Amino acid sequence: AAFDTVIRNGTVATASDTFKADVAIKKGRIVAIGEAITDADETVDASGLLVLPGGIDSHVHISQPSGPGIVMADDFESATRAAAFGGNTFVMPYCLQEKGQPLRAALKDYHALADQACYVDHSFHLIIADPSDAVLGQELPALVADGYSSLKIFMTYEGLALSDYEILGVLQVARETGALVQIHAENYDAIRFLTDRLERAGKTAPYYHGKSRPIAVEREATHRAISLAELIDVPIVIVHVSNREAMEEIRRAQARGLKIHGETCPQYLVLTEEDMQDINKDGLNMEGAKYVCSPPPRDKASQEACWEGLQRGVFSLFSSDHCPFRYDDEAGKLTPKGRTSFRWVPNGIPGVETRLPILFSEGVSKGRITLNQFVALTATNHAKTYGLKGKGSIAIGYDADIALWDPQKTAKISQSGLHHGSDYTPYEGIEISGWPVATMLRGKFVVRDGQLTGAKGEGRYVTRGKPGAVA
């Protein structure tokens, strides 16, 4: 036959168009899009289904060290399996540099963890914890040239927070090399001060995690990050934006012509700080730890602002910030130290499998965003922003990374139906209209009819090119 596979009678959506077409695949790539394509070894009937590019999640944490005695709930196998079930074909986890560690050594470790373990394709963002002269002068430029073209830096967290001087140094290297820098924007000293004050007042339950990093903490750091990027004249990504004030900082910067990319995440659309208030059956007051992440979920008005940011294009990226810990586990949210204060509860929540259904249901099915915006926000823009070639769209010559969606399928999110390593989902019980029903990686089904059909190790490491602009 002329083609290996043809996906027939589906509705194809890209970032710009929606149309009925058959999609023909050969050697893992999309080679024809048209009407009545029949000459294929395998025909997949997609009647009533949407044919979308596989999701690209450019913000996930996998197997990242998270403090003494704390273990992330997912390794590369379980995280990428969950990603595939959630309609994704590509993830961009982080490679965390330890203080004093050469970047190459950190990369060697993460590659060793990911090689032969993944169900979907992947690349790494470098977390720069130690911007020494050697790192900024030699290692980083060489690695950017080798395809590690994005990095993340932090304005907060013990052991990770960079000074403004150090941030400027990293941004300068990004400007010289064409790398794209993600910035975690929260004011470190303000969080430390508020945390100490809350603890002295005996306010140590998980709920106070939110009170230790209120909106002004994020808004100030967002403004400062943008100002530093403006000084160097370099694009940046402000990741995981949670509220209107930070969103407005980005919007104003964009209006002034600065290349500031904005990202938001599911937790800021459907969770609030009230979720961190839950008390468990032992009266331990720890149930709220299930929702502890940074920045924290805010309030309903902040949710509305994040929707507005997505609708207006202030946010071009919608990622999960998947950062999974188990709840009922001393190596996770119930760390013995955590019971003495929210300060010790590991920050982060699982979400790689539920990102797309939540945005589809709350966004597309409820009419807040179009199907084309959904595709842009979940796949196309991630590929363009981070220099990933030949992925993120349904187009001739692109990899056949495809998710088939049933827009009519309704079911609640429940832990029992998920495939991640966490023992809970913060999104338990949310009613979803529209689910992915099959995921194809380079022309081969990874997930089909609710079954895992891919094999571990079929997900490949992909080198990226220079980050680009989102049209």
Site residues (CB under 6 A) for ligand URP?
Answer: 61, 184, 240, 293-294, 321, 323, 347-348
146 binds Zn ion (CB under 5 A): no
Tokens describing residue 204: 């140590």
- 51 vs 181, which CB is nearer to ligand URP? 181
111 binds Zn ion (CB under 5 A): yes
Spatial CB neighbours of 241, under 8 Å, sequence gap ≥ 6: 218, 222, 247, 250, 262, 263, 264, 268, 295, 306, 309, 315
Q: What does 33-72 look like in DSSP terms, one character per residue?
A: EESS---EEEEEE-TT-EEEEPEEEEEE--S---STT---
Q: What is the DSSP letter of 339?
A: G
- 240 vs 298, which CB is nearer to ligand URP? 240
| Interface residue with Zn ion, options 45, 115, 189, 328 (CB under 5 A) | 115
- 155 vs 314, which CB is nearer to ligand URP? 155
Exposed e or buried b per residue across 229-240, where buried means at least 16 C-beta atoms within 10 angstroms of its C-beta: bbebebbbbbbb
Q: Bridge-partner residues for 150, per DSSP?
A: 180
Q: Which does 461 bind (CB under 5 to 8 A by kind): ligand URP, Zn ion, none?
A: Zn ion
- 54 vs 297, which CB is nearer to ligand URP? 297
Q: What whole-number distance in Å separates Cα of residue 401 and Cα of residue 28?
A: 8
Q: Please say whether the beta carbons of 246 and 314 come within 8 A.
A: no
Tokens describing residue 320: 């999960």
344 binds Zn ion (CB under 5 A): no
197 binds Zn ion (CB under 5 A): no
Q: What angle do CA 26, 32, 36 make, to 5 degrees?
A: 110
**Which helix H or strand E contains 76, and what residues bound it?**
helix 76-85
- 113 vs 364, which CB is nearer to Zn ion? 113
Phi, psi (rounded to 5 degrees) for 209: -55, -45
Q: What whole-number distance in Å separates Cα of residue 47 and Cα of residue 20?
A: 10
| Interface residue with Zn ion, options 321, 353, 399, 401 (CB under 5 A) | 321
- 223 vs 240, which CB is nearer to ligand URP? 240
Question: Shortest distance, CB of residue 242 to Zn ion, whole angstroms?
Answer: 11
Q: Which does 347 bind (CB under 5 to 8 A by kind): Zn ion, ligand URP, none?
A: ligand URP
Question: Shortest distance, CB of residue 337 to ligand URP, whole angstroms?
Answer: 17
Q: What does 354-374 look like in DSSP terms, one character per residue?
A: THHHHHIIIIIITTSS-HHHH
Question: Shortest distance, CB of residue 453 to ligand URP, whole angstroms?
Answer: 31
130 binds Zn ion (CB under 5 A): no
Q: Which stretch binds Zn ion (CB under 5 A): 23-31, 38-46, 183-191, 374-382?
A: 183-191
Question: Shortest distance, CB of residue 397 to Zn ion, whole angstroms?
Answer: 25
Q: Which does 298 bind (CB under 5 to 8 A by kind): Zn ion, ligand URP, none?
A: none
- 184 vs 326, which CB is nearer to ligand URP? 184
Question: Shortest distance, CB of residue 150 to ligand URP, whole angstroms?
Answer: 14
Question: Shortest distance, CB of residue 350 to ligand URP, whole angstroms?
Answer: 11
Site residues for Zn ion per CB under 5 A: 111, 115, 184, 321, 461
